[in-house]
Amino acid sequence: METYDKFEPEWVWVDDEGSNVYAQGYGRNLTVIFSFSADNRNPPTSLANRVCTKYEGLETEDAAATFPTIKDLHAAIWGAIRHVWPRYFSHADLGIRLDTVVAVDSIDGSIEKVTWNVYNHPLFPQFLRNLAEESLGRTPVGPAESVDFARLIRYEQLGGRGCTTRVRLPTGEYAVFKGVDFRTALQYSDNQGDKVIRNLIRNWWREYNTLQQIPPHPNVLPPPSLLATIQWPDRSASPVFCGALFPFYPGGSAASRIEDSNKKGVRIPLLLKAHWCADMATAVFHTHRIAKMYHMDIKPGNFVADASDNLILCDWEQHDAPATTLAPEADGTWDVTEDFLTIQAGRPPLRYTKYCGIPRRNVDEDVLGDAPWHTWNVFPIWNNTCPWALELAEVFSLGRSMWMLLRQPESDFEDIKHPDQLVTDWDKSEDIPITWKQLVDRCMSRDPNKRPDLSELVDFWMKEWNAQKAANGND
């Protein structure tokens, strides 16, 4: 049973005003938030003042009032926390009251003079009021089975916006919590109506309700059977929902498996690659053709592997699209129509026109970045008006995901801001059959009319997977 007696650092972030820097980590079955708050009553060389000065990039003539580098800043933060960790982890409120934060400081920045104080953060009631607002989302029918978030043993964060965390249930089973915790609220709260945090709350409710509508399929994440609630500290009101519990898949994601294989300098076997390509295509075929829904965020990181190495399509917020796998015609600058008068190969060709009208928006301001698809999201529009264009856009995303799996590029793609910027090639992939490369290249065609449909993708990869199983002596 994991306990993590040693402190494990996770996050460092600054609040909207820059006057508080927070850190979060876990150990001994506790997840704790710490604060370093600027205070002009203390000298500029105090630890908290130095942390805020450096994190905000404020100029100072005194080198002792800041840190040389961000690395030095993080070392000081985690060093101070670890120094007092044995003394405060047993505090009565930690792990019970979710509004508790540990304030850390040192009057002269030295480890020997590090002090700590446990307090109840004043933003917690505002966080609960946002969670309780029914206009942001609610369970579709009747009360759902739930567990108190405070009873979950939280381990490492699994990335993404909002909170996705591996947890242990009171029963001892592992699960993944996905929703909005207080760390997320402190990171995204602002003075403009909490637009971002309210958007994140709306997102996880959208995912919850979307999964309830998708017919069950082995390659699609099942809907959660358990919701998580947060109690008001004084129990003056009913608990509020803050997220849901999903199955924990120890096999990691396709993206993490690619990264691990690259670190080891090995190629993922062709059998597994064919298996995963078949799973990817099958999952999207089911959700698009059967459930009549779109995913929007298809990428290797959103396919997780179960114990038998079957891929499961997860992350159903339907809110954002990655620049690395987004179809270029779906970047918010194009409109599309179907030409029913000219049927080709049993399907109408698509006609795309560049939008040149007045600026248009269907995504809330300030909740995402500045990319055009964060202003005009075509996915919900095309889902209603031109589902064929939407299918071919998802095929492009599948093609990019399959290319990443087959090619195993070592780039993390952080500098990619638009799908056109990613150059795909087949270097160092001599083990990949030419027919596989040709199909994936068709999926990634700039002309959507030249891409295969989902039926062809499923048929091709199921055939190739069966051929690989036969070649490896598997029935």
What is the total residue count of the chain?
A: 475
Check residue 349 and give left, alpha or beta (phi > 0: left; psi -120 to 50: alpha).
beta
Give the three-class secondary structure for 451: coil
pLDDT value of position 1? 46
Would you tell me how many other CB atoms lie within 10 Å of the CB of residue 3?
10
CA dist 331 and 397 (Å) reads 12
Lowest-pLDDT choice from 49-58, 67-76, 133-142, 147-156: 133-142
Q: Tell me the DSSP string of 377-438.
A: --HHHHHHH-HHHHHHHHHHHHHHHHHHHHH------TT--SGGGPPP--TT-TTS-HHHHH
> Residue 259 is encoded by which pair of tokens?
């990264």
**Among 228, 225, 79, CA closest to 154:** 228
pLDDT tens digit sequence for 321-352: 999 999 999 999 999 998 866 766 667 899 99
> Residue 113 is encoded by which pair of tokens?
């003079």
Confidence check: pLDDT of 376 > 80: yes
Comparing 73 with 29, the larger pLDDT belongs to 73
pLDDT tens digit sequence for 388-398: 999 999 999 99
**Among 115, 97, 95, 96, CA closest to 105:** 115
Percent of the chain with pLDDT over 90: 61
pLDDT value of position 56? 87
pLDDT value of position 94? 66
SS3 content of the chain, % helix, strand, coil (to 5): 35, 20, 45
The DSSP bridge pattern shows strands 226-230 and 146-148 to be: parallel
pLDDT value of position 345? 66
pLDDT value of position 5? 65
Confidence check: pLDDT of 84 > 90: no
**Among 326, 334, 321, CA closest to 363:** 321
Average pLDDT estimate for 261-286? 97
Average pLDDT estimate for 312-325? 93
pLDDT value of position 343? 67
CA dist 182 and 35 (Å) reads 13
> Residue 352 is encoded by which pair of tokens?
């795309």
> Residue 32 is encoded by which pair of tokens?
């704790």
pLDDT tens digit sequence for 223-240: 998 999 998 877 777 889
CB contact set of 173 (below 8 Å; sequence gap of 6+): none
Would you tell me how many other CB atoms lie within 10 Å of the CB of residue 142?
5
Q: How confident is the model at residue 48 (pLDDT cuts 50, 70, 90)?
A: very high
pLDDT value of position 162? 74
Average pLDDT estimate for 4-15? 82
Would you tell me how many other CB atoms lie within 10 Å of the CB of residue 5?
12
pLDDT value of position 238? 84
CA dist 235 and 119 (Å) reads 18
Q: How confident is the model at residue 271 (pLDDT cuts 50, 70, 90)?
A: very high
pLDDT value of position 315? 93
Comparing 192 with 427, the larger pLDDT belongs to 427
Mean pLDDT across the chain = 89
Contact between 334 and 357 (Cβ < 8 Å): no
Q: CA–CA distance from 318 to each of 100, 140, 211, 300, 384 (Å)?
A: 33, 18, 11, 16, 15
Q: 58-67, 108-117, 214-223 — which one is most confidently predicted on average?
A: 214-223
pTM of the model: 0.90
Lowest-pLDDT choice from 193-202, 397-406, 443-452: 193-202
Q: How confident is the model at residue 4 (pLDDT cuts 50, 70, 90)?
A: low
CA dist 472 and 465 (Å) reads 11
Comparing 88 with 50, the larger pLDDT belongs to 50
pLDDT value of position 2? 54
User: Residue 163 class from Cβ within 10 Å (0-12 exposed, 13-18 middle, 19+ buried)?
Assistant: buried
Please, what are the domains in the chain? 8-119 (no CATH), 124-247 (3.30.200.20), 254-471 (1.10.510.10)
Contact between 139 and 241 (Cβ < 8 Å): yes
Give the three-class secondary structure for 245: strand
Average pLDDT estimate for 86-105? 77
Say which DSSP state 287 is in: I
CB contact set of 367 (below 8 Å; sequence gap of 6+): 195, 196, 199
Confidence check: pLDDT of 141 > 60: no
pLDDT value of position 80? 92
pLDDT tens digit sequence for 245-265: 999 998 999 999 999 999 999
Average pLDDT estimate for 167-173? 88
Confidence check: pLDDT of 3 > 60: no
